[in-house]
Chain A
Amino acid sequence: MIIKFKKISLFILTFVILVFFITSLVKSDDDLEKSYQNFVKETNKIRSQLNSLPASTSSQALAIDKAIKEMDRAVEFAQENFKINDFEITEKTLNFVDRSLTDINNSAPKEFVNDLTVVDMGKLKDKELKEVYRVSIEMKNNKKEKLTSLVKDMTEVDKKGLNLFEVSKNINDIGVKTISIQDIAKTIVENPTIKSEVLESAEKGISPEYLAEQLAEAEKLGIAESTEKLSEAAMASGFSKDVMPSLETMRSDFFDADAHNAAMAEMAADIQAGGIGDGVGAAEAAATYTEADRDSQKAQSEADCTGSCAGDTESGQ
């Protein structure tokens, strides 16, 4: 009788543990599952709207349509991986989709264009010139970092069954400028530790001969860029890798004002494409913070205090 009772209580204990674990897992991923359902619903709707657009005679519109079709494979792959709880691959695939959609969007002509070539860099104030220089250099570094991370993501995704190097090549072939073979080659040259695995994946999607050619080019360029001669010439003219060039240098012919101007134009395009960085969305949310919100928050805090928060007012005084 006692043995039977022990068995029953062990069974109940097992059952309780099982229920506890399952409910906690379901609860913690419930919000994400809801977001996923919304994502599927929303993207399916957009894709069907895009598919039902009347065929255009414009070559630009045709290129956009074809490039978007290329995205379908990647979006479906991300969804499949979410379903099997591989969130890491889902995220990496979506990073690629996000970048590609930005490139497709940037390839479309814009109604308003901010022409920065009219800005005379020579007439900028010292402070302005220094900041433009600094920001454009830092943006270039940011861009490099993002590209390296994306190429790594593409390699990881390939290991799970989708070759994004091929998708990227197809989009370029359509005429939409996105991550190119040259970009991939430069990334490999700058990050030798990832060379073998990136090459292994990339060669499945793009011609190994062409990739090798671009790699050789990138290596030559890398060597040329790092030659002491060039560095010495730059130093003599007021440049160094970590130190700001003098204002005289920035105003001299040696200073590539056009390059910095182009970086600024890119920044303007980023803003047009939906804001500079993901944080803007959150700032927009913060912008909805109104006086009414603040009042209700204050009232709530005062209610929570129940007389023990003397002196803890809104201003903290």
Chain B
Amino acid sequence: MKKLLAIIVLSLLWSVNTYSVEKKKPLTVVQEIKQLGIFAEPSKYPEGMIEFFGNGCKNFSCRADKATKKMALTFKKSKLYHQRKPGHQLYALAMFELFYLNELKIKEKRIEKFLLDWPEKNKYGKEIISLIKLNRSKEKMRKSLGMDLNTSIEEAMERYWIMGDFLQKGEIKKEKISKDIKKREKLLAKYKKAVNKFNTELKNKEDEDLYKKIENK
């Protein structure tokens, strides 16, 4: 009987192992939180962004709120809009930096309290998870333009803005596309979205384990 028990336990441990994918060692919860960064007001903003804020909006809170609203509006725009205004998505990414920084400011004390109680309790766990997710998005977006989490917010905003300005300088030309192509393009976009969504979920399996670790504490 004891042998049977040992065999069952060993085979279960083996089957658990087959689920794990060999990847780089994930960060601990505390390391993840350290990666979130510390709030500090940006020392400068891109010129175009200052123009967008206007004269009446000079403090950080006003600027962050205005940027968040504009970012939300831009990301909700259609694909067609982004094709006509190719730089706007990059301006929105610069604004995302401010949105993230503001979230960090709002949740600063909660992060401290979380760290004080962790791992015994998960005080403000949900907010910590949402910040980790936002930080991951920030990292991926920065990477696409050759930046990382060590790049300062001032530099990141400047780079997004300059690239946005550059794309806006191009000439938008309209071409006639056949219905056949349009239909295929639409289905291709859906296909790619479905593949990308599932693949991202596979890749994020480790992240999900981390979120569950925080949630279930």
Contacts and interface: CB of A to CB of B under 8 A. Distances in A.
Report whether chain A binds chain B. yes
Interface of A: 7, 10-11, 13-14, 17-18, 21, 25, 28-29, 31-32, 35-36, 38-39, 42-43, 46-47, 49-50, 53, 56, 58, 60-61, 64-65, 68, 75, 85, 87-88, 90-91, 94-95, 97-98, 101-102, 104-105, 108-116, 118-119, 124, 127-128, 131-132, 134-135, 137-139, 141-142, 264, 267-268, 270-272, 274-284, 286-290, 297, 301, 312, 314-316
A101 to B, nearest CB: 4
Contact of B170 (A47, A116, A124, A139): A116
B177 A46 contact: no
B214 interface: no
B163 A267 contact: yes
Interface stretch (B16-24, B29-37, B49-57): B16-24
A35 B198 contact: yes
B199 A114 contact: no
A116 B196 CA distance: 29
Nearest to A94: B199
A283 B137 contact: yes
Contacts of A267: 163, 167
Given A91-B203, A115-B170, A139-B145, A105 B192 contact: yes
Given A142-B143, A279-B139, 11 more contacts: A14-B8, A58-B178, A58-B180, A61-B180, A87-B202, A91-B202, A115-B170, A116-B169, A271-B86, A274-B192, A316-B109
B217 interface: no
A46 B191 contact: yes
B192 to A, nearest CB: 4
Q: What secondary structure prevails in chain A residues at the interface with B?
A: helix
B2 interface: yes
Contact of A104 (B175, B188, B196): B188
Interface string B46-90: 000000000000000100000010011011100110111010011
Contact of A264 (B21, B166, B175): B166
A301 B136 contact: no
Q: Which of A18, A38, A135 has the most CB of B within 10 A?
A: A135
Interface string B148-161: 00000000001100
Which interface class (under 10, 10 to 19, 20 to 34, 35 or more) fits B?
A: 35 or more
A279 B46 CA distance: 22
A11 B86 contact: no
Given A56-B180, A276-B145, A88 B22 contact: yes
Contacts of B182: 111
7 contacts: A17-B8, A46-B191, A85-B18, A91-B203, A114-B83, A131-B158, A286-B137
B118 interface: no
Interface string B1-28: 1101100110010011011011000000
B52 to A, nearest CB: 17
A282 B5 contact: no
A274 B166 contact: no
A276 B16 contact: no
B116 interface: no
